[in-house]
Amino acid sequence: MSHHILIIEDEEKITDFLRRGMVFEGYRVSAAHDGPSGLAIARESPPDLVILDWMLPGMDGLEVCRRLRSVGPVPIIILTARDSVADRVMGLDAGADDYMIKPFSFDELLARIRALLRRAQPQTAEVLKFADLTLDTGTHQAFRGERPIDLTAKEYELLELFMRNPRQVLTREVIFDRVWNYNFGGESNIIEVYVRYLRQKLEQDTEPRLLHTVRGVGYVLREE
């Protein structure tokens, strides 16, 4: 069965352009011009992926994103004219999986849609272990010893990447590519921001550091 893509965008020209292109690619497409009607469609007929405009009248895209997230784990791509790193972090924190900056190339959007749909396919769950860390790839539950750790979607992906590659130095480029699917540009500090979040959760009280900085290169998961 073909994938169902929901477009939430108030600019009709963009909606029409996206709808035509996606139908041509074989997707089933529904569209809404504002947040509340988009959420109504998502509840009635759950989409496989949502393309969501940030600047919507009334309820903005970030709020729509949070509400979609509270319903289920559907992949979300945000469309935005905003371009600063702070805005990107805000969008990703709200639960978006990816975003495109307007104007964007349709081919690139299609590539990201395919990547997200591929990642959303269920995989066999396993429990990854390193030192006293465990990570269940089915439930996304993490533990340090007996202590449960709550992770956001991006923190989970980052930790999973390190736990699948223990004791290997992962460069910033590899992390960008594997966790964010593309390069943010050299000056972005998004990895530092997320490593900081992750360390705060992984290192409580006297728990020794596991996620180490390799200056000028990247990061490594190892014991001291």
**Residues within the interface to Ca ion (CB under 5 A):** 10, 53, 55
What is the smallest separation between the CB atom of 10 and Ca ion, expressed in angstroms? 5
- Of the two residues 81 and 86, which places its CB atom closer to Ca ion in the complex? 81
- Of the two residues 10 and 93, which places its CB atom closer to Ca ion in the complex? 10
What is the smallest separation between the CB atom of 102 and Ca ion, expressed in angstroms? 9
**Token pair of 166 as six digits:** 């223990």
Cβ 163 vs Cβ 130: under 8 Å: yes
Q: Which residue has the tokens 């396919």?
A: 121
Q: Which of 87, 86, 25, 70 is nearest to 78 (CA)?
A: 87
What is the rounded distance in angstroms from the CA atom of residue 97 to the CA atom of residue 79?
A: 11
What is the rounded distance in angstroms from the CA atom of residue 52 to the CA atom of residue 38?
A: 9
By beta-carbon distance, which residue lies closest to Ca ion? 55
- Burial (Cβ within 10 Å: 0-12, 13-18, ≥19) of residue 167: exposed
What is the smallest separation between the CB atom of 92 and Ca ion, expressed in angstroms? 19
- Of the two residues 53 and 155, which places its CB atom closer to Ca ion in the complex? 53
What is the smallest separation between the CB atom of 55 and Ca ion, expressed in angstroms? 4
- Of the two residues 10 and 87, which places its CB atom closer to Ca ion in the complex? 10
